[in-house]
Structure 1
Amino acid sequence: MIITRTLRALVAALPLTAVALPALADIKDYEFQLTQSEFKQGDGVVITVKLIDKRSGKPVPDAVIFAKRIDMEPEGMAAMASPIEMLPSPEAGAYSFKTKLVMEGGWRLSLGAKVQGETGTLENKLILEALP
């Protein structure tokens, strides 16, 4: 009889615990956004992106960026890539990279990241323009 009462109490409490849990996010709820889309062609160009939670519009700090590439795919020259180096974060939720934009025209910044507390991999491709 004691076991039956305990089981009934546990079963009755289950809906309450389900309501108390926060809604789970999905990796698709996040995206990188360029802070500017036009840059002067040359060496030492610093590109900054923000990682945004699309549900709230707030920046997301502490992502682990494990893949980065910049190339001229928008100009049909995906093989023309430049070295890219990650720099210290200028502010929470912002991520900066230093590169060399050797030619004017369209460039694609490809990023792969893990967002703290989320499963899956965030992958974004951002288009920017190098001006003379």
Structure 2
Amino acid sequence: MKSNFSLRAAMLALASLVAVFQAAEAGPKDYEFQLVDNEIKQGDGAPVAVRLIDKRTGNPVTDAVVFATRMDMEPDGMEAMTSPVEAMPSNEPGVYRFRTNLVMAGGWRFSIAAKVQGEAETVESRLVLKVVQ
């Protein structure tokens, strides 16, 4: 009876160590920002929404702190053409919403950086979207 208990205890300890090791190996490459909509209507107050997922599980990441955003027209060769980005509330888990002024149709790049709770490194993405009239 003691040997079964000892074996179970050892297996539980090993499983715990594996879980800790896997968590320690996580990094920015394990997370991905995705545009909710790739095509957005031109105008002031244009909504931009991104989803942050944990690629290892496919689950949304709800506790990220977005600390840097930039919207520019780099895809159309006009990186100096920028627009301010304002964070908006979101009621969808793992979805981060913003508002910006998309003054012209064409290709726009949305750069975003966030800290995920428990991760030492920053998660960064550059997402390309199409703005239409």
Higher-Rg member (1/2): 1
Runs of at least 5 residues in structure 2 that lack an aligned partner in the other structure: 1-8
Question: Is the CA contact 1:51–1:94 (under 8 Å) kept in the aligned structure 2?
Answer: yes
Deviation at 1:89, TM superposition (A): 2.0
Runs of at least 5 residues in structure 1 that lack an aligned partner in the other structure: 1-12
TM-score (norm 1): 0.85
Q: Is 1:20 equivalent to 2:13 in the alignment?
A: no
Query: Counterpart of 1:79 in structure 2: which amino acid?
Result: A
Query: Counterpart of 1:60 in structure 2: which amino acid?
Result: V
- Structure 2 residue matching 1:48: 3-state secondary structure: strand
Which residue pairs with 1:102 in the alignment? Answer: 103
Question: Is the CA contact 1:90–1:96 (under 8 Å) kept in the aligned structure 2?
Answer: no
Which residue pairs with 1:66 in the alignment? Answer: 67
Question: Is the CA contact 2:51–2:95 (under 8 Å) kept in the aligned structure 1?
Answer: yes
The 5 A counterparts of 1:1-132 are 17-21=13-17, 22=19, 23-24=22-23, 25-132=26-133
Q: CA RMSD in A?
A: 1.6
Report runs of 4+ in structure 1 exceeding 3 Å deviation: 13-19
